[in-house]
């Protein structure tokens, strides 16, 4: 490597901006300053060590003259070093450091003129070695600035040159002269190498910091965009759910038997469209819950047969309407995991398979693989291209060749992917265009063989529940309805009165609220919206419970998916359903309490 004096003499790399050059200069000053401070105590100790080594050989007068000068230089050096404060002018700081380093180098060089002439050969070489070691160990600390490096090397070599010029027989010392010259050159070269290494590390640090700052900005932008998306979904869906809820109520109140054929067709189409909108809102609700991290994994034992039976009951009508075969293959097994989230994953996967299959079948296989549950959902549908396979789990993505086959938001598989991660499972997909698709779900759910004796309090109850009547007897039950939307108030009153309830409409003003409660002898259930103007449904439910001195079962219908609110509802033993929801689902939830 050739010595690049131009690079060495530059105070900062030329490819940096002005601000970065300033930072480099500050870093160089701090680097040299740290080295100077750390060498102060060793400098004093080194001088003290010279007393037993050189005092006798040099003679008291010569040695202590040199020793005194060295102590003074070290004191001045210490003062200069500690006088440099953070925020001082950089050039002034370098000037002080150069003087401090030069003084230290000078008193070691002065030793060649004051001490060496009286030394024996062994002391001569010992002092020479100490002088070289002093320069060598200080090169790295002072190499990052050319003036500091020269301040370290030049003073000693000036005195060394003067010594060689005054010796009686210069020819006898020519090896030392050549060695000193070579050492001077290679000291600069070594300092240059250290300087390049130091600068590269510093520039690399700057680049890493810049990359980190850029990544942080991109991350913050991504987080902000995600928050904005979540806020938009929550706000937009909340504002739309209220009128959608009213539509559901009034559609349920229409008696199709009293309509003509044409009107029945119109109402059926309207109900189908409303149901489609409900599914879209529920999809947005699932995304909001996942964004809010309000979905918790709740594990327990469940029977695969019951899962398959429930899926078959829900999805077989869809398969039948398209003349598709829906087959479930499984062996009796008991699984430990989250039944609800697994059910949600499978409903999405099987529904997708049914939607994109025109002819053939959809097969669902439950496999016991090394005591862990694996589920395969395969279809004979349209399949997917390689381009689609790389994007199907993205939010709002819909494949180009399937876009016309099904209306939707493109969120189903995105939700599936996030729920799969939530339960610690993996989901892979194999597909061939126009031939079909296979989704393979590998769960961490442990499997155990089912016991011969059914637990009378669990499996038998579950089996019986499938054949139980949909609703328990609700006749003459007193239902309190708390709502501020006039259309919903009217709809709830008509619907639940027709279902056999005695409906009490609870006014929201404090005076009318209290008057109404005094006229009610008993309440069996409370149905309430959450947002009620300046107040909320929780406050009204608490006041009603206090008035009746009873923990009356309650259900809140809300579009709010906040984890804090959901936890608050649970803590107060209040059930929750999210808008929009069909009135028969509300009725089903109320009925469960009285079964």
In the predicted structure, residue 365 carries a pLDDT above the cut 90: yes
Q: How confident is the model at residue 9 (pLDDT cuts 50, 70, 90)?
A: very low
The overall average pLDDT reported for the chain is: 79
150 and 19 in one domain?
A: yes
Report the share of the chain in percent with pLDDT over 70.
81
Q: Is residue 287 part of a domain?
A: yes
> With contact defined as beta carbons under 8 Å apart, do 90 and 25 qualify?
yes
Residues spanned by the domain of 425: 300-467
Mean pLDDT calculated for residue range 61-73: 92
Condensed to tens digits (0 to 9), the pLDDT of residues 402-448 reads: 555 555 556 678 778 888 888 889 999 998 888 889 999 999 998 87
User: For residue 7, what is the DSSP state?
Assistant: H
Task: Give the range among 152-161, 336-345, 348-357, 451-460 with minimum mean pLDDT.
Answer: 451-460
Q: Is residue 53 part of a domain?
A: yes
Last residue of some domain: 265, 291, 317? 291
Mean pLDDT calculated for residue range 73-91: 89
pLDDT at residue number 128:
80
Q: How confident is the model at residue 471 (pLDDT cuts 50, 70, 90)?
A: very low
Strand partners, 430: 438
- The residue assigned the tokens 């063989």 is 449
Mean pLDDT calculated for residue range 307-329: 89
428 and 405 in one domain?
A: yes
pLDDT at residue number 134:
82
Task: Give the range among 304-308, 329-333, 389-393, 476-480 with minimum mean pLDDT.
Answer: 389-393
Q: How confident is the model at residue 189 (pLDDT cuts 50, 70, 90)?
A: confident
Mean pLDDT calculated for residue range 83-104: 88
pLDDT at residue number 363:
94
In the predicted structure, residue 170 carries a pLDDT above the cut 90: no
In the predicted structure, residue 586 carries a pLDDT above the cut 70: yes
String of b and e for 68-89 (b: at least 16 CB within 10 Å)? ebbbebbeebbebbeebeeeee
d(CA 94, CA 321): 86
d(CA 29, CA 23): 10
pLDDT at residue number 328:
93
Q: Which residue has the higher pLDDT, 66 or 135?
A: 66
pLDDT at residue number 491:
85
In the predicted structure, residue 13 carries a pLDDT above the cut 70: no
pLDDT at residue number 313:
85
In the predicted structure, residue 500 carries a pLDDT above the cut 60: yes
Q: How many domains does the chain have?
A: 4
Q: How confident is the model at residue 532 (pLDDT cuts 50, 70, 90)?
A: confident
Q: Is residue 248 part of a domain?
A: no
> With contact defined as beta carbons under 8 Å apart, do 31 and 198 qualify?
yes
Condensed to tens digits (0 to 9), the pLDDT of residues 14-32 reads: 566 677 778 888 888 888 8
String of b and e for 104-126 (b: at least 16 CB within 10 Å)? bbbbbbbbbebbbeebeeebbee
Q: Which residue has the higher pLDDT, 221 or 410?
A: 221
348 and 276 in one domain?
A: no
pLDDT at residue number 456:
36
String of b and e for 258-276 (b: at least 16 CB within 10 Å)? eeeeeeeeeeeeebeebee
pLDDT at residue number 561:
66
In the predicted structure, residue 458 carries a pLDDT above the cut 50: no
Q: How confident is the model at residue 283 (pLDDT cuts 50, 70, 90)?
A: low
pLDDT at residue number 594:
80
492 and 356 in one domain?
A: no
CATH number of the domain residue 388 falls in: 3.30.565.10
Q: How confident is the model at residue 323 (pLDDT cuts 50, 70, 90)?
A: very high
d(CA 227, CA 321): 40
Q: How confident is the model at residue 463 (pLDDT cuts 50, 70, 90)?
A: very low
Please name the residues in contact with 50: beta carbons below 8 A apart, sequence gap of 6 or more: 63, 67
String of b and e for 334-355 (b: at least 16 CB within 10 Å)? bbebbbebbebbbbbbbbbbbb
304 and 287 in one domain?
A: no
187 and 73 in one domain?
A: yes
Q: Is residue 243 part of a domain?
A: no
459 and 354 in one domain?
A: yes
Q: Is residue 230 part of a domain?
A: no
**What is the token pair recorded at 441?**
């779900």
Element (H, E) at 558: strand 554-558
In the predicted structure, residue 355 carries a pLDDT above the cut 80: yes
Last residue of some domain: 188, 215, 242? 215
264 and 334 in one domain?
A: no
pLDDT at residue number 380:
92
Q: Is residue 232 part of a domain?
A: no
pLDDT at residue number 470:
42
pLDDT at residue number 469:
37
d(CA 142, CA 35): 8
pLDDT at residue number 534:
81
490 and 461 in one domain?
A: no
CATH number of the domain residue 570 falls in: 3.40.50.2300
Mean pLDDT calculated for residue range 526-541: 89
406 and 502 in one domain?
A: no
Of the ranges 137-151, 323-337, 577-591, the best mean pLDDT one: 323-337
In the predicted structure, residue 320 carries a pLDDT above the cut 70: yes
Q: Is residue 221 part of a domain?
A: no
456 and 519 in one domain?
A: no
Q: Decide the pairing of beta strands 436-448 and 334-337.
A: antiparallel
329 and 284 in one domain?
A: no
Q: Which residue has the higher pLDDT, 211 or 409?
A: 211
pLDDT at residue number 459:
38
């Amino acid at each position: 490597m050739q010595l690049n004096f131009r690079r060495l003499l530059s105070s900062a790399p030329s490819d940096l901006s002005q601000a970065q050059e300033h930072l480099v200069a500050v870093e160089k000053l701090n680097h040299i300053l740290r080295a100077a401070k750390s060498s102060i105590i060793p400098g004093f100790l080194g001088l003290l060590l010279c007393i037993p080594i050189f005092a006798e050989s040099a003679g008291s007068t010569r040695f202590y003259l040199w020793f005194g000068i060295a102590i003074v230089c070290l004191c001045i050096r210490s003062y200069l070093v500690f006088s440099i404060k953070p925020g001082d002018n950089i050039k002034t700081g370098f000037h002080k450091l150069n003087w401090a380093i030069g003084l230290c180098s000078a008193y070691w060089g002065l030793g060649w003129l004051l001490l060496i002439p009286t030394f024996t050969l062994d002391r001569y070489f010992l002092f020479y070695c100490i002088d070289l070691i002093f320069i060598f160990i200080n090169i790295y600390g002072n190499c990052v600035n050319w003036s500091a490096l020269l301040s370290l090397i030049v003073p000693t070599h000036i005195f060394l040159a003067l010594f060689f010029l005054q010796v009686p027989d210069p020819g006898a010392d020519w090896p030392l002269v050549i060695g000193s010259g070579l050492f001077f050159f290679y000291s600069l070269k070594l300092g240059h190498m250290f300087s390049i290494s130091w600068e590269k590390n510093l520039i690399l640090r700057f680049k890493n910091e810049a990359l980190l700052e850029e990544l942080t900005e991109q991350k913050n932008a991504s987080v902000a965009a995600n928050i904005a998306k979540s806020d938009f979904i929550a706000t937009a869906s909340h504002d739309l759910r209220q009128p959608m809820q009213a539509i559901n109520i009034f559609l349920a109140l229409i008696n199709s038997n009293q309509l003509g054929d044409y009107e029945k067709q119109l109402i059926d189409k309207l109900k189908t469209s409303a149901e489609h909108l409900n599914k879209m809102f529920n999809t947005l609700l699932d995304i909001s819950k996942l964004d809010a991290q309000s979905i918790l994994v709740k594990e327990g034992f469940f029977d695969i047969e019951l899962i398959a039976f429930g899926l078959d009951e829900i999805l077989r009508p869809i398969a039948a309407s398209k003349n598709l075969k829906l087959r479930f293959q499984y062996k009796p097994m008991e699984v430990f995991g989250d039944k609800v989230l697994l059910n949600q994953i499978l409903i999405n996967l099987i529904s997708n398979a049914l939607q994109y299959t025109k002819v053939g079948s959809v097969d669902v296989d439950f496999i016991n693989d090394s005591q862990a549950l694996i589920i395969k959902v395969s279809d004979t549908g349209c399949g997917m291209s390689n381009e689609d396979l790389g994007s199907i789990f993205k939010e709002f993505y819909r494949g180009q060749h399937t876009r016309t086959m099904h209306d939707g938001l493109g969120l189903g598989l995105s939700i599936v992917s996030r729920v799969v991660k939530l339960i610690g499972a993996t989901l892979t997909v194999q597909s061939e265009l126009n031939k079909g698709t296979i989704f393979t779900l590998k769960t961490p759910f442990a499997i155990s063989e089912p016991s011969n004796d059914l637990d009378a309090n669990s499996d038998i109850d579950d089996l019986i529940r499938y054949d139980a009547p949909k609703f328990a007897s609700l006749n003459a039950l007193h239902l309190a309805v708390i709502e501020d939307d006039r259309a919903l108030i009217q709809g709830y009153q008509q619907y639940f009165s027709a279902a056999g309830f005695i409906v009490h409409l609870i006014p929201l003003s404090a005076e009318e609220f209290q008057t109404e409660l005094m006229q009610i002898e008993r309440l069996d259930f409370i149905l309430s919206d959450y947002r009620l103007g300046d107040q909320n449904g929780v406050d009204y439910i608490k006041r009603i419970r206090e008035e009746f001195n009873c923990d009356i079962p309650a259900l809140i219908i809300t579009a709010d998916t906040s984890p804090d609110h959901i936890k608050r509802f649970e803590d107060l033993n209040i059930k929750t359903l999210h808008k929009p929801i069909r009135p028969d689902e509300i009725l089903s939830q109320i009925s469960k309490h009285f079964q």
